Amino acid sequence: MKKNIIYRISAIVVLALVAQSCFTAKEYKRPEIKAENLYRTEVVAQDSASLADVAWDKLFTDPVLQQHIRTGLQHNFDIRIAIQNIVASEASLKQAKASYFPTVGLGADWTHQELSKNSQFGQVISASGGNTNVDQYQLTANLGWEADIWGKIRSNKRAANATYLQTIAANQAVKTQVITDIASTYYQLLSLDAQLKVAETTLVNRNESVEIIVALKDAGNVNEVGVKQTEAQKYATELIIEDLKNNIILLENSLSILLGESPRSIERSTFDAQQLNPEIKTGFSASLLRNRPDVVAAEYNFISNFEMVNVARSNFYPSFKITATGGLQSIDLKEWFSVNSLFANVLTG
């Protein structure tokens, strides 16, 4: 008898090992890509110093712009959403890690049942002088655990970890985009300010030209056509100025939204006060791509999907779960916590 049991257990173990050999969760390996022949330009950077390693405050030296960027990083709504996505994915990662441990549950309930006196059991109980009102009190605890035979739990944890890292990279991508949008809008404002300054200077010259041409007309040296042409140039300049002012207001509103603030006038310096850094080095193109947060997020998304494929494949195989339930059950509240009220059962599958 004992030999038969040993043989059965051995057979089950052998079958499990054979089945496991049919499926093993694959590990993600980053492919090696040779990018030397992918460049279509003849000049390829040989300096390892890369623009990807330059901090934004070293790239944008305008103190006013730097303050706007810091404000945007603190109050931008897209960044706040990205941060909450990180919190949510971190909670999912903790939940995935907890899958290795048994699950525990507790419950308590009370059931009241009143039997009909005209029913089969009701008539029997009534005839014997029993009570047709039945109260049952139950306090239960359950314990469940699943063995990670096929690597499903491990792959699920890796997928959750990749998703968490993806949200971090996505948050950095949002920050990068916010910095880019703030700087771009800021410099567009400076450009419009410079154009407005030129247009206002032009308007002063146009007014002087109108005065001169009117004086020449009064002197008989110019006809009415010349006066109208000069006035038309003046009016065109006035329209350009109004259009520039309107565009400035629109850009200020856009920048205010990027800063997470209500529309207002934006503090800024002048276009002439900007200092350009002529020593910017792009470095290797691969370094630029490797440091792009959207590229990093895309890779982590691929890893997450790769691991979820492992999880899906493992679902084709049987799982081994142990579930145990026990507690106290009694129809008499006074006897609820007695030894005779104990019950338990264990299931595997």
Integer angstrom CA distances of residue 36 from 29, 32, 42, 117, 258:
21, 12, 11, 91, 39
- How much is the pLDDT for 255? 94
For residue 21, pLDDT over 50 is answered with no
DSSP assignment string, 260-296 = TS-S-PPP---STT----TT-----HHHHHHT-HHHH
Tokens coding 329: 């059950």
Q: How far apart are CA 302 and CA 308, in angstroms?
A: 10
Selected from 2.30.110.10, 1.20.1250.20, 3.30.420.40, 1.20.1600.10, the CATH number assigned to the domain covering 54-348 reads 1.20.1600.10
- How much is the pLDDT for 184? 94
pLDDT, one tens digit per residue, over 122-177 is: 666 666 666 667 778 888 888 888 888 888 888 999 999 999 999 999 999 999 99
Eight-state DSSP code of residue 163: H
Find the range with the poorest average confidence among 51-60, 93-102, 133-142, 316-325.
51-60
Confidence of residue 49 (pLDDT cuts 50, 70, 90): very low
**Mean of pLDDT values over 56-60:** 83
Helix H or strand E encompassing 159 = helix 152-218
For residue 68, pLDDT over 90 is answered with yes
Exposure of 222 by Cβ count < 10 A (0-12 exposed, 13-18 middle, 19+ buried)?
A: middle
Q: Where are the beta strands (DSSP E) in the chain?
A: 103-114, 133-147, 320-330, 342-348
Domain boundaries, the chain: 54-348
- How much is the pLDDT for 197? 94
**Mean of pLDDT values over 35-64:** 65
For residue 217, pLDDT over 50 is answered with yes
**Mean of pLDDT values over 294-315:** 91
**Mean of pLDDT values over 288-300:** 84
pLDDT, one tens digit per residue, over 230-239 is: 889 999 999 9
Amino acid letter, residue 331: I
Q: How far apart are CA 231 and CA 237, in angstroms?
A: 10
| Contact (CB, 8 A) for 323 and 144 | yes
**Mean of pLDDT values over 232-247:** 94
Confidence of residue 300 (pLDDT cuts 50, 70, 90): very high
Higher pLDDT, 130 or 311: 311
- How much is the pLDDT for 16? 54
> Mean pLDDT: which of 41-50, 141-150, 337-346 is highest?
141-150
pLDDT, one tens digit per residue, over 184-201 is: 999 999 999 999 999 999
Q: How far apart are CA 343 and CA 322, in angstroms?
A: 17
pLDDT, one tens digit per residue, over 248-292 is: 999 999 999 999 999 999 999 888 888 776 566 655 566 667 778
